[in-house]
A and B are shown apart, each in its own frame.
Chain A
């Protein structure tokens, strides 16, 4: 199976900061990558699909980039409601889908 490794595991940032989370795949997955946000006690919410496509209704401060094995999720200006755990997911058709271990974003 393809392993997904996120970094950092936790980050602490201030309101208005630019925040970047990285996700690396153990083998190439083209652009078959999604990002999810999970707030405490809630279900995951799709933010980005196909590496860089913004899901409908998601604020434009969220963006995704990358292809192959290295991907990033960027929050351009961190807001209080962005405090959550963020997961990447690869969905390459030649392998079972797998998730990263998660990155916890805290507000300073």
Chain B
């Protein structure tokens, strides 16, 4: 079964750091770009970051650039999001998602065919 499972969310104060993980199974992980998308409570979807299959191309939304770092470990079928200097507006359910096409270079030009169930990040004093 093709599956993505996120972990690492929690409640923390503004300015702190958190690392999210996403473990993949059921597909050849290192053939696909991977993505993080977030959804604030009661609101819509916002793209956060993307990484190509060999980590050669990375993209970030302006709202997280310079604070968040995406990475992947293909040997462990894992995707990560290091989140620093967290703000209240980062409060959201964070989804990892698999790109639909294999070995694409332009990581923003893809739809997402598999999503995890999400991990909640709450930033509050």
The interface of chain A, by Cβ under 8 A from chain B, is 32, 34, 36, 42-46, 49-50, 55, 87, 89, 91-93, 95-102
Beta-carbon contact of A34 and B115 below 8 Å: no
Whole-angstrom distance between the alpha carbons of A89 and B46 in the complex? 10
One of A36, A43, A97 near B108 (C-beta < 8 A): A97
Cβ of B45 within 8 Å of any chain A Cβ, yes or no, is yes
Chain B residues within an 8 Å CB radius of A55: 113
Q: Which residues of A contact B47 (CB under 8 A)?
A: 96-99
**Chain B residues proximal to chain A, CB less than 8 Å:** 37, 44-47, 50, 59, 61-62, 95, 100, 106, 108-113, 115-118
Which B residues lie within 8 Å of A87 (CB)? 44-45
* Chain B residue, CB-CB nearest to A102: B44
Contact A96 B108 (CB under 8 A): yes
Note all chain A residues with C-beta closer than 8 A to B110. 91
If A44-B45, A49-B100 touch, does A91 touch B109 (CB 8 Å cutoff)?
yes
From B50, B59, B109, B112, A32 is in contact (CB under 8 Å) with B109
Q: Give Cα A30 to B117, complex, Å.
A: 31
- Which 8 A-B residue pairings sit nearest by Cβ, starting from the closest? A93-B109, A34-B111, A43-B115, A49-B111, A99-B45, A93-B106, A46-B113, A97-B47
28 A-B pairs with C-beta separation under 8 A: A34-B111, A34-B112, A36-B45, A42-B117, A43-B115, A43-B117, A44-B37, A44-B45, A44-B95, A45-B115, A49-B113, A50-B111, A55-B113, A87-B44, A87-B45, A91-B111, A92-B108, A92-B109, A95-B108, A96-B47, A96-B61, A96-B62, A96-B108, A97-B108, A97-B109, A99-B44, A101-B44, A102-B44
Contact residue among A46, A96, A98, A101 (Cβ-Cβ distance under 8 Å from B112)? A46
With both beta carbons as reference points, the residue of chain B lying nearest to A89 in the complex is identified as B111
> Can you add 16 more A-B contacts, CB < 8 Å, to A91-B111, A102-B45?
A36-B112, A43-B95, A44-B112, A44-B115, A45-B115, A46-B112, A49-B111, A49-B113, A55-B113, A93-B106, A93-B108, A96-B59, A96-B61, A96-B108, A97-B50, A99-B44
